[in-house]
Structure 1
Amino acid sequence: MIRAEQLTKRYGGRTVVQDLSFTVRPGSVTGFLGPNGAGKSTTLRMLLGLDAPTRGRATLAGRRYADHPAPLTQVGALLEARSLHPGRSARNHLTALALTHGIPRSRVDQVLDLAGLTEVADRRVKGFSLGMGQRLGIAAALLGDPAAVVLDEPVNGLDPEGVLWIRTLLKSLAAEGRTVLVSSHLMSEMALTADHLVVIGKGRLLADTTVTALVREAGGTTVKVVTPDAGRLRALLPTTARITADAPDTLHVTGLDAAEIGRTAAAHGLPLYELTPQTASLEQAFMDLTHDSVEYQGAEPQRAGHPGAAHQGAAHQGAAA
């Protein structure tokens, strides 16, 4: 089990993490999410004893990371896959780590095989691609057969086969009863891999919940409406609804159910070609939840040839401000 208790980290007058508490339990994959600058990397570094918290406490299996006599056998971590000696081979890199913890050499061969690196085990890592470096970092994290695994952006640089491999690996580790904490920016991958989510923004906890609950509560349900009178219908719907358009005849309405929209259209004689409820994606739910925590926000792209694009873009920016 991984536990953060009131973690706070300040650098001078700047607070990066503020009173952050959460628990990562064994038996499931927990996704650790947040926009850039949210404090994810700092939090992971505090969990692993690389940064000392200004206040609060981080424990792994009930102890601080530094208090474990053989930490690789308790927690396997990947924070920076390229932090390797370029002149060493993959095998030598793992062997050096194994010797510091009394791990048998046979385990080196096992994790090389698990990571798909057996054929390149004796090549110097300076010639490794980004994906190969990621695989080696994951192999190192699993070297001590740890009860907990902490991985930061593990699919970065992996090809589709590698992404499927890491997804299957994480699920199998959780199924074995291990504690798995994974940080990622890929919402589509987290939707397929994670069971539970911890979401932070500006160093504070925004959500500690399941994927299903976050999508339901933060993203809500959007109704796709196709009508030749989209402009008239949009003007008739309550201003409390959030309405976007990706085509002249198509609206996406959040905040109203399909029945309400249908009744409004029928009352004013507006034809409907489609009225389809669509559950929000994890990506949309995440964007909604973290909207006020994003460091930099770009303007909404204008659709070429759309007569109202410039006006809608300006209105969107004004609402965001």
Structure 2
Amino acid sequence: MIRAENLTKRYGDTTVVQDLGFTVRPGSVTGFLGPNGAGKSTTLRMILGLDAPTRGRATVDGRPYAAHRAPLTHVGALLEARSVHPGRSAHHHLMALAHTHGIPRARVERVLALAGLTHVAHKRVKGFSLGMGQRLGIAAALLGDPATVVLDEPVNGLDPEGVLWIRTLLRNLAAEGRTVLVSSHLMSEMALTADHLIVIGRGRLLADTTVDELVRASGGASVRVVTPEADRLRTLLPGARITAEAPDTLLVTGLEAPEIGRAAAAHAVPLHELTPQAASLEQAFMDLTRDAVEYQGASA
């Protein structure tokens, strides 16, 4: 279990993380989300003992990371996949880590196979692609068979097969009762992988909830309506948010399909299509973090 309590980090006059509190529990995949500059990387570094909090504390299984006598066997982490000596092979890199904790060679071979790197295990890391580097970083994170896994952007650089592998791996780790915390900017992947979400913006907690609850709370679900009398139907749906996708196609938010259908039937408005559109995690995230975005592009 990971716990952050009143976690705060300042650099001079700049507060990067402000009174952040949350708990990451075992048995589920927790997505750690936020726009660029939200303080995600700083928070992860404080959890892993790489940065000292200005105030508050972060613990793993009740202890600060540095207090664990054999940290690799408690917490496996991937923050920067390229933090490997380029002249080493994948096998030598993992063996060097293994020697620090008395981890047997068989475990090194096991995680290399798990990451799909057996065939390149003795090649120098400097020749690895971005995706291969990510796989090596994940292999290193799993080396100590830890109960807690912390991964920052694990699918970065992976091809579709690799993304599917990561998704399956994370869910399997959680199913084994491990604590899994994953930071990502890919909302579509988080929607498929995460059970729980922690969302921060400008260093503060914005949401600590499930994927379904966040999407539901956003109110982003809509209904696609196709009718030759789109303009007339608009006047029959007061209070709804309506946008036109085409002259005969409306996207209606704020009303359910049956309500729209009854209003159309009552005024003899023909409907060619009435299709509920599921709200997306991406839209819910954008709505939640709209005021916490550090860099915002202008429309073309």
What pairs up with 1:1-321 in 2 under 5 angstroms? 1-238=1-238, 240-300=239-299
Give the distance between the partners of 1:90 and 1:26, measured in 2 at CA.
30
For 1:274, the aligned partner's letter is E
RMSD between aligned alpha carbons?
1.6
For 1:7, the aligned partner's letter is L
Quickly say closer, same or farther: Cα 1:162–1:42, change in 2 above 3 A: same
Quickly say closer, same or farther: Cα 1:28–1:60, change in 2 above 3 A: same
Superposed displacement of residue 102, structure 1: 1.4
Contact between 2:224 and 2:276, CA under 8 Å: does it hold in 1?
yes
Deviates more, 1:140-149 or 1:273-282: 273-282
Give the distance between the partners of 1:297 and 1:234, measured in 2 at CA.
32
Superposed displacement of residue 234, structure 1: 3.2
Quickly say closer, same or farther: Cα 1:29–1:230, change in 2 above 3 A: same
Superposed displacement of residue 261, structure 1: 2.8
Structure 2 SS opposite 1:92: helix
Structure 2 SS opposite 1:84: coil
Superposed displacement of residue 246, structure 1: 2.6
Superposed displacement of residue 253, structure 1: 1.6
Unaligned residue ranges in structure 1 (runs of 5+): 302-321
TM-score of the aligned structures, taking structure 2 as reference length: 0.95
Give the distance between the partners of 1:298 and 1:268, measured in 2 at CA.
43
Structure 1 SS opposite 2:37: coil
String of CA shifts for 1:221-276, please: whole Å, max 9, x gaps.
Answer: 211111223334335533x4333333232221212222333344445543322222
Contact between 2:200 and 2:206, CA under 8 Å: does it hold in 1?
yes
Give the distance between the partners of 2:113 and 2:230, measured in 1 at CA.
57
Contact between 2:219 and 2:254, CA under 8 Å: does it hold in 1?
no
Structure 1 SS opposite 2:274: strand
Give the distance between the partners of 2:244 and 2:202, measured in 1 at CA.
30
Quickly say closer, same or farther: Cα 1:231–1:8, change in 2 above 3 A: farther
Superposed displacement of residue 299, structure 1: 4.2
Contact between 1:243 and 1:254, CA under 8 Å: does it hold in 2?
yes
TM-score of the aligned structures, taking structure 1 as reference length: 0.89
Structure 2 SS opposite 1:43: helix
Give the distance between the partners of 1:289 and 1:249, measured in 2 at CA.
31
Contact between 1:219 and 1:281, CA under 8 Å: does it hold in 2?
no
Give the distance between the partners of 2:299 and 2:225, measured in 1 at CA.
21
Structure 1 SS opposite 2:189: helix
String of CA shifts for 1:104-125, please: whole Å, max 9, x gaps.
Answer: 1221111111111111111110
Structure 2 SS opposite 1:143: coil
Contact between 1:29 and 1:179, CA under 8 Å: does it hold in 2?
yes
Deviates more, 1:95-104 or 1:229-238: 229-238
Contact between 1:219 and 1:286, CA under 8 Å: does it hold in 2?
no
